[in-house]
């Protein structure tokens, strides 16, 4: 980064050609105190930018969640609209069916009336037969009397008269039975006809089958009206949901732009802090830079010693096949060098925690952000079905490939200073600084040493 005091005049000999006015107008290099003050200002800028960046991230996530919720609502409303369409089709079909049933009942009532008329004719015919049978019995009785008067001459006629009288009696009994049966059937048909006959009184409530059918038609009509009203409400909700989706889409775009601006301020402050640190002036970050570089060298030496002793082969040390461990939440992974890291890293990492009470963590990660062994305080075995506790207390064997994590893991410069907001859980956050130093093994970049500390 060019500064005014780093520029030299162009041209000939500065001792002979520069005037007194030029010397007075040329700025001199700042003092170490100025560098320190400038560094603290840059740190303050970075802290504010990290806070803003974190808030923007939270807001962005909240808006994204709302956008997803609206997507789900829109999908649900579409399903409701389809169901309402099916209801409307069904109610229309039901209304047509009820209407057809009412017409069928009217036709059935007419047919029952015809049957009743026919049965009355049968009853009348049976009564006529009964009357004929009575008359026949009377004639037969008179014939019998006359036959007795005739004596021996009328004996044969008397036999015939008796037979006719018996036959007339049986006909009379049969006709009476027919009349009784017809009367019973007529009474039943009359009750059925009454049920089928709509109430003709104006304003009187319908009863019987026609009343039930009218109630069915009213219920179907009410269902159709409710379905239409619900469809109108659903359409209004769908329109509002789409309008909100459009607004949230614009908000997401604005937030993304704001995040880019915040990243720009954050990057600017980090570059300024780096530039100040590279001058060699002792700043607030200098002890942490030296500690990170020292720990990175110690980790690299331990890994190279392990290679020399044959504890691990070079391909295994650079293994990037991260094998997920079943039943872990958040997911944990193992690699070919996990066991070696668990033996070699803790002493170095734990010693760095004693540098200052501001140090939050010290971890060695590979170039992809994989943490084979975290600090002991947060390297506990996971609890089943407790991802919240696991996220805070079981941070080893995990991959942290966020913006800060990957930048630290893949940094190959002597050191890298970053500022970011860390989620502590339970709605609590903390803005941290982090110094990363590269870990190189046999000339190859293995990863980085991450040393995070408070402001």
What residues does 434 pair with on adjacent strands? 418, 452
The pLDDT mean for the chain works out to: 77
Instruction: Give the pLDDT confidence score for residue 24 in this predicted structure.
Output: 42
Would you put residue 206 in left (φ > 0), alpha (ψ -120 to 50) or beta?
beta
| Position 435 pLDDT exceeds 60 | yes
- CA-based nearest residue to 38, from 292, 271, 264: 271
| Position 332 pLDDT exceeds 90 | yes
What residues does 333 pair with on adjacent strands? 324
Tokens coding 337: 């060098």
pLDDT tier at 257, thresholds 50, 70, 90: low
Instruction: Give the pLDDT confidence score for residue 218 in this predicted structure.
Output: 75
| Position 88 pLDDT exceeds 90 | no
Mean pLDDT across 284-308: 96
| Position 234 pLDDT exceeds 70 | yes
Tokens coding 67: 């956008």
Instruction: Give the pLDDT confidence score for residue 11 in this predicted structure.
Output: 38
- CA-based nearest residue to 171, from 128, 142, 121, 120: 128
Which range in 75-89, 154-168, 196-210, 351-365 is most confidently predicted, on average pLDDT? 351-365
- CA-based nearest residue to 437, from 299, 264, 301, 303: 299
pLDDT tier at 107, thresholds 50, 70, 90: confident
CB count within 10 Å of CB 146 equals 13
Residue-wise pLDDT tens digits, 406-429 = 999 999 999 999 998 887 655 678
Instruction: Give the pLDDT confidence score for residue 230 in this predicted structure.
Output: 73
Are the CB atoms for 22 and 8 separated by under 8 Å? no
How large a percentage of the chain has pLDDT more than 90?
34
Secondary structure class of 116 (helix, strand, coil): helix
CA distances to 181, 182, 262, 407 from 116, rounded to whole Å, are 13, 10, 94, 99
Check: pTM over 0.75? Answer yes or no.
Answer: no
| Position 87 pLDDT exceeds 50 | yes
How far is residue 17's CA from residue 11's CA, in Å, rounded to a whole number? 9
Instruction: Give the pLDDT confidence score for residue 434 in this predicted structure.
Output: 95
More confident residue, 252 or 417: 417
pLDDT tier at 369, thresholds 50, 70, 90: very high
Instruction: Give the pLDDT confidence score for residue 429 in this predicted structure.
Output: 80
DSSP 46-109: HHHHHHHHHHHHHHHHHHHHHHHHHHHHHHHHHHHHHHHHHHHHHHHHHHHHHHHHHHHHHHHH
Instruction: Give the pLDDT confidence score for residue 119 in this predicted structure.
Output: 67
Instruction: Give the pLDDT confidence score for residue 202 in this predicted structure.
Output: 43
Would you put residue 267 in left (φ > 0), alpha (ψ -120 to 50) or beta?
alpha
| Position 180 pLDDT exceeds 80 | no
Instruction: Give the pLDDT confidence score for residue 226 in this predicted structure.
Output: 74
CA distances to 28, 363, 444 from 382, rounded to whole Å, are 58, 19, 33
How far is residue 285's CA from residue 381's CA, in Å, rounded to a whole number? 34
More confident residue, 355 or 271: 355
Angle of helix 155-196 relative to helix 32-150, nearest 10 degrees, comes to: 160
Are the CB atoms for 154 and 146 separated by under 8 Å? yes
More confident residue, 115 or 451: 451
How far is residue 319's CA from residue 14's CA, in Å, rounded to a whole number? 58
| Position 340 pLDDT exceeds 70 | yes
Residue-wise pLDDT tens digits, 264-274 = 656 766 666 67
Strand segments, DSSP code E, in 120-167 are none
List the domains of the chain with CATH numbers.
42-199+206-283 (1.10.287.950), 284-455 (3.30.450.20)
How far is residue 341's CA from residue 372's CA, in Å, rounded to a whole number? 6
How far is residue 63's CA from residue 57's CA, in Å, rounded to a whole number? 10
Residue-wise pLDDT tens digits, 19-70 = 444 444 445 556 666 666 666 666 666 666 666 666 666 676 666 666 676 6
**Opening angle at CA 276, ends 441 and 47, nearest 5:** 90
How far is residue 386's CA from residue 329's CA, in Å, rounded to a whole number? 8
Instruction: Give the pLDDT confidence score for residue 73 in this predicted structure.
Output: 66
Are the CB atoms for 453 and 432 separated by under 8 Å? yes
**What residue spans of 286-416 are helical by DSSP H?**
286-309, 314-317, 338-344, 346-352, 387-393, 403-410
Instruction: Give the pLDDT confidence score for residue 15 in this predicted structure.
Output: 36
Do the strands 323-324 and 398-399 form a parallel or antiparallel pair, or are they unpaired?
unpaired
Long-range contacts from 180-185, C-beta under 8 angstroms, 24+ separation: 182/119, 182/120, 182/122, 182/123, 182/126, 183/123, 185/119
CB count within 10 Å of CB 112 equals 18
| Position 14 pLDDT exceeds 50 | no
Token pair 């803003």: residue: 52
How far is residue 410's CA from residue 420's CA, in Å, rounded to a whole number? 17
How far is residue 39's CA from residue 424's CA, in Å, rounded to a whole number? 27
Residue-wise pLDDT tens digits, 108-151 = 767 777 776 776 777 777 677 777 767 776 776 777 777 777 77
- CA-based nearest residue to 418, from 320, 271, 318: 271
CB count within 10 Å of CB 402 equals 11
Are the CB atoms for 364 and 345 separated by under 8 Å? yes
- CA-based nearest residue to 55, from 417, 402, 400, 429: 429
Instruction: Give the pLDDT confidence score for residue 235 in this predicted structure.
Output: 77
pLDDT tier at 207, thresholds 50, 70, 90: low
């Amino acid at each position: 980064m060019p500064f005014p005091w780093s520029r030299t005049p162009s041209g000939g000999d500065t001792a002979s050609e520069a005037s007194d006015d030029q010397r007075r107008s040329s700025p001199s290099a700042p003092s170490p105190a100025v560098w320190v003050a400038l560094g603290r200002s840059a740190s303050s800028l970075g802290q504010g930018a990290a806070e803003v960046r974190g808030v923007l991230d939270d807001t962005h996530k909240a808006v994204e969640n709302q956008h997803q919720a609206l997507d789900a609502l829109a999908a649900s409303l579409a399903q409701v609209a389809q169901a309402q369409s099916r209801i409307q089709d069904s109610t229309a079909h039901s209304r047509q069916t009820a209407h057809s049933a009412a017409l069928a009942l009217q036709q059935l009532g007419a047919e029952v009336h015809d049957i009743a008329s026919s049965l009355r004719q049968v009853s009348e015919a049976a009564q006529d037969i009964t009357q004929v049978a009575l008359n026949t019995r009377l004639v037969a009785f008179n014939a019998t009397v006359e036959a007795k008067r005739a004596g021996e001459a009328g004996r044969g006629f008397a036999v015939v008269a008796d037979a006719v009288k018996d036959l007339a009696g049986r006909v009379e009994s049969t006709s009476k039975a027919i009349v009784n049966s017809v009367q019973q059937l007529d009474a039943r048909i009359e009750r059925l006809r009454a049920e089928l006959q709509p109430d003709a009184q104006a304003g009187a409530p319908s009863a019987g089958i026609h009343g039930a059918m009218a109630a069915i038609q009213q219920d179907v009509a009410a269902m159709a009206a409710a379905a239409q009203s619900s469809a109108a409400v659903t359409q209004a909700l769908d329109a509002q949901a789409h309008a909100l989706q459009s607004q949230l889409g614009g908000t997401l775009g604005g937030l993304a732009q704001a995040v880019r601006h915040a990243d720009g301020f954050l990057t600017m402050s980090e570059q300024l802090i780096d530039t100040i640190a590279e001058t060699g002036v002792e700043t607030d970050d200098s002890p942490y830079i030296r500690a990170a570089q020292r720990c990175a060298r110690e980790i690299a030496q331990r890994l190279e010693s392990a290679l020399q002793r044959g504890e691990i082969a070079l391909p295994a040390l650079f293994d990037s096949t991260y094998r997920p461990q079943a039943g872990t939440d958040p997911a944990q992974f193992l690699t070919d060098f996990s066991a070696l890291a668990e033996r070699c890293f803790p002493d170095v990492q734990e010693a760095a925690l004693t540098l200052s009470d501001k140090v939050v963590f010290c971890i060695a990660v590979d170039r992809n952000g994989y943490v084979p062994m975290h600090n002991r305080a947060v390297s506990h075995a996971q609890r089943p079905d407790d991802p919240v506790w696991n996220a805070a207390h079981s941070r080893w064997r995990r991959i942290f490939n966020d913006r800060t994590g990957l930048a630290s893991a893949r940094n190959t410069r002597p050191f890298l200073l970053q500022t970011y907001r860390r989620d502590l859980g339970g709605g609590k956050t903390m803005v941290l600084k982090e110094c990363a130093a590269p870990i190189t093994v046999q000339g190859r970049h293995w990863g980085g040493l991450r040393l995070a500390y408070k402001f």
